[in-house]
Structures are given as structure tokens and as C-alpha cells.
Structure 1
């Protein structure tokens, strides 16, 4: 036990280790005078260690030896100080959060959510959930391959990010953020009182938009692969076919834009017809 200034004293070479294991600190203290038994200390310990022991101040009261945990003022062990010892003193692989991450973790415990959610988020922040990779690190014999995509090991980053080619979890996460943003804008600009059901509607609508977007992107990719003579579209503009079956594009395109002033409530719109090949303007108005 490290009882001499945080270290274990070196026993004198003339002493038996079997006997030394039975020694107690009280064996080297004279209970009547409350001083060290200097002769016995020098006899049992290495000379330099004996000097360190004799330089230690003895307590004034007569108490029996007890285990003392130096990482807590009371001397008693706590889980919190034990965690501190493992993460700081031993340099373990435990995640060391920066100040901002620590504030986020404190926020988790203050949130008005079920305790099991708090514990889950706390474990997720410290990479402590029982994904396959973590189970393998703990000595369990298990296949670490992701059951969903079969393209990587199942760890926290893989499980809650791209997950192979699918990326469905990212879509749900971004759709949730977008739904919260839409609910905020409805509250600020239209005085709509936000509810959880309204946020859910925004999220569902966002996911439907994404599905439509990926469906249309797939169609356009097939059309490009077939060598369609698509026009040169400016960024952010949508090509619309009017008046006849979509079998090709005409030699011109119409660009339209508009804006309004919130203070004066004035609005305006403008249009321009451009040659599809050269990009030169054929006509404009507003």
C-alpha cells in the first residue's frame, strides 16, 4: 500500500517479504509516546525510505489504520473520483471532452426527458453503448460486422452516420432539424403556435421532399446516360416543359425572378428569354 508520501517504501534486503506483508503502520509507532520506533524503522526499511518515514508527522489522536482514498477530501472512495483517476492519472482511452462538450453533457442531465434517454445520450457521448465493436473490446467473442449494410464494423460512428451506402439515419436527422427550423419560422413570421404534432408534420413533409428529390435525380441521371440534348441550366433554376409532350427542348429558355420589400410591401417580377445555345438575350421585361 502506498503509505509513504504516495509510494510504497522499499523493504530492507535483510527482511523476509512474507513477514513484511503482515506489517501495519501501527507496528512502527510507539503508542505511549506517539513517536516512530526509529530503530525498528531503520531495521525494516531501506535507509533512504527510513528517513522519509521518520520525517512524516504522526497524528495526535490514537486511531487504527484505515484505507484512505487520496482523490477525495474525506478519504472515502466515490465512483466520480474513481472515474477521474482512471481518465486523468492512468491516461486511459476514455473520451476526454473539451469544455464545450462537458457543458453539453451537463445539459443532458438537466433536460426534462426520461432517465433512460439521459443515460443513453451520456453513454453515446462517451462511446459506451453496446455496439459490436465495443463488445469485442470488452472481451466478448462476436462478429463486429454491421448487420444492416455489411460494409463496415458496427461502432457508434458507423451506426449513427452513413451506415454504409444507405445514409437513412442522416436523412432522418437532417429532416428533424429542418422540421424544427420550419416550425420556428412559422412561429416568427406567421404567429403560428408550434406544437409537437406540427413539427412532426414538417419532418414528414421534408422526408417526402427528399424521396421525391432522389427519385427525380435518378430519372435525370438515366436521361443523361441516354444522351439527351439537355439545355445548359443556370444554378438554382428549374426547367419546365410547357405546351407539348416532353420529347426535346426548344432553342430558347425563359428565366423568371421576383423580390419584395418587407417594409413597403412593394414587389416586382422580371423575365428574360435567352437563346439556348449562345445564352444571349432574345427579349426581357418586368
Structure 2
């Protein structure tokens, strides 16, 4: 790929991708944004078969159904720069691509990543590598009954590897193998994940670490999780994000860039010229110390403490989250930090010096304003953002702001998939699954008639890669049982909210159950009337007990 540019002599020249992504003298790392963007185009050409660019350019490049051979070869020597750039992006995709197994599968058993994003050669002991048959494909391990047949191996794979293979779902219909991006939940390539993959790969890695590599893991975890769940305004969230990412325009930044600006702290009234850093401005400065001690929190940020102010701030947030009055304490902490920054800007741009007493009065007003905004949101929309207690777990699946579709699912609203509502003699099926870490699962389903009388049930032991996959397999087997017993008007109840959202299209399907969702939808077509709704765990106890019985 060549990019046109104008040189200093006003003559047009061409810049190749190798020249753009060369090793820089000052930054010491290559421009990985170009690689991430080129890989996006390569993904559309080689793997997104429904896109227009794949249908037009794919046949010209010798596009084939099975991408395993194409992804392992390079660009021809006499090809254009555009084609070479596509194969350059394809190298990044090859390093982070995985496959969903179809039937019959044409994937290579030892080289392709088809076992939960890993290839079989990485899972077995290295002493068996000399006994690997590279010509073996996954389809030879699949039986006609859609089961795994591992008797062809002349050595022991190990119990853990066998369980992973047995937990890999085999489609009931003839389906081609599907490639997916292993770094995203929905399996689609994104420039953001490609950028981080390029930073970690040898395609663009330099011997010198970047600022991203030197960032504290605690700060990175806080910025990705709890920061955006804090019940504060968006303005304060963006300010805290810039504060934690060292993106505020402080004097130390001007000094590093050799800019002709004032690099000293403007809030200090001492004769010593102190360079304006984040630690000095927000913690060591006398003005900041008076505000931290005079606010409602009464914190002592005395000078000489050997701790990063960002870690100090995150530790206080984590401590306040666990308290009963977390919202008020967090408001005060963030408002004090914000007021220090505002007073600094007033001094720099307007030459107005504020007293600590006036700044503390502004902090109290900011906290009151945030309390009023939170109460208004709670009274008007019933949003969970106005709660006093914030979940202490960053991985809490309960979001503060839920969409209307999620709220409808939580209220057990039925979604009609096939047929129309108001059908007579509609049976109700409750399905559930139990899952263990060793990938063993138990499936259970219960059939009730229109009067609530139990008219059928079933349970089955199974192997599943995840709890979500086990819930989907339980629904699939329950639908098969109902169709075999001529129950064609049915309503499905499941206590798995993610499965309901992905079935109705409110969320993008996970790659773990993408083929499974297609199997469920193809099974639903045989019913005259079928609807789906979410039910709480307490309503689904009988199906859960059947699943637990099959698991034991």
C-alpha cells in the first residue's frame, strides 16, 4: 500500500507501508495504528464473506471457502503494495484467530485453534510432538451421530484435553467451519483489539517499552472497570480518566516537550519554585493540603509520602465503595480533586487567586448539586444510578443503566418467535442446566400444561464449555423432546438472561454459542407457536433440581 504525499520541493512522492511503520528515532516504536487498520481491511476481505469488498476482491485474490490454507501463505513476490499490505495485516489476524467447528470439519487437528481458542499441539505434552500426523483433520474425529471419536490416537491425550474436546459443540446440521477473532466476545475484529494485539506482537514490538506498557496494572483495571460505574457526572468521569492517564496539561509535560510555558506550580505561595507535577499539585501543594484536610473527609495528604497520587486516589475510592455512605464520600473526594484543578486553571488563565475557604464552599455546592441530580434521576426514571451503595465487585453484571429491552426481560415479558399470541392449549417448558469447572454439565427440562399440571420431564448428563453453552443445550434438548412428543404450542422459560437477550437479538451472540443459537432457531421453526421469556431462579427450581440430579 502506497500513500501519496507532498515533499518540500512540492513534488509528489509515494510512501510505502514499510516506510511509514519504520522504527522511529524519538518514539522507539512503530506506528501500530496502521497495522490495526490494515488488518481490519484484511478481515473484511478474507473472513467476512458477506461484505461487499470480500465478494468483489475475494475472487481476484483466489478466495476459497476454507481459509486455513489461504491464511498460512504469503503474498506473491510480484504483487502490488496494496496486496502486500493485506497479507501484512493477515499475519496479525493469524496470530489471534480461532475456529468454530462445523460438520464435517476441514480444520487441521494439530495446527488450527479449534479447542477453546487453542490448537491441540499446545495442549499435549511435548514428548508426543514427534508422533503428530499433520494431515489429520477434525472431521475424522467426528462420528455420524455428532459425537467425538478419540480412539484413533495412539497415545493418551490426558483427561483435561479430552474434556475440552468433548465439550466442543458439534452442529447437528451440515455447517462450514467459521473463523472468529479470539480477542473479542462476539468474535468480530475491531481496530481497538487489533491495536493492543499489534503492541503485544513481534510485528510492531520494539525493545523499548511504551507509556502503555509502563502504566500501573491497578490504574488500568480501574479505568476499564469501576471508573465508568461511578455515580458521578460524565464531566467528572472524563476528568478522572485524564487524571489517571497523565493526560492533564501540567508543567512537567511542558518541560518534557521543551515548550515555553510556565512549568512551576501557581498555587504555591512559597519562594521555592516547585515543578508542577500531578503529585505536587493534587497532594503536596499547601493549597491542596488545606482543601483535603478542610473538606468533609478530613484527609491528610502531607508532603513526603512516597506514593503516586493516582494510586492514592484509587485506594480511597475502593475504601469508600465498601462503606454505607459511599455515594456522599465519593462525591466529596471527586469534587475536591476537581476544585483543585479549577483553582489552578483560574490562576493560570485569569490570574485569580482563590482562598481555600472559598474553594471549600464550592466543593460543598458541587456535592449538593450531584446529590440533587442523583435524586432527580432516581425519582424520574427509577434508575439504579442513584443507589447509595456501589457494587464492590468490578465484574458485577448488573449495570447501572439498563436498556428497555433488558428491563422487559427482567419483568418476564414474553417474546414471540414463531406464531402469534393468544393460542389455545399452550404448554410451558422450564429448562435449566448445572455446570462444573471440569466442563461436566447436567441438563433438565420440565413440561407443564395450561393448568400447571406436570405432563413431562427429562434430564441428561452432557459436556459443555461454559455455563451459557450448557443453558442453550438444555433448551435445545427440551425443544427436541417436545417436538418428538407432538407438543407444538409451547412457551419457553429460562433463568439465563444472556441467553434470552441473544435469542431475541438484543445482544450480539457470543462465539461460544453462535452455532448453538442457529440450531435452536432451526428447531423452533417446526413449532406452530413458540414464545420465550426470562424467569427468576426461584420459579425454576424443579428444572434446576433435574439438572443437578443429572450432573451428580
Q: Shorter chain as normaliser: what TM range?
A: 0.3 to 0.5
**What TM-score does the superposition give when structure 1 sets the normalisation length?**
0.35
Looking at both structures, which has the greater relative contact order when contacts are Cα pairs under 8 Å and sequence separation is at least 6?
Answer: 2
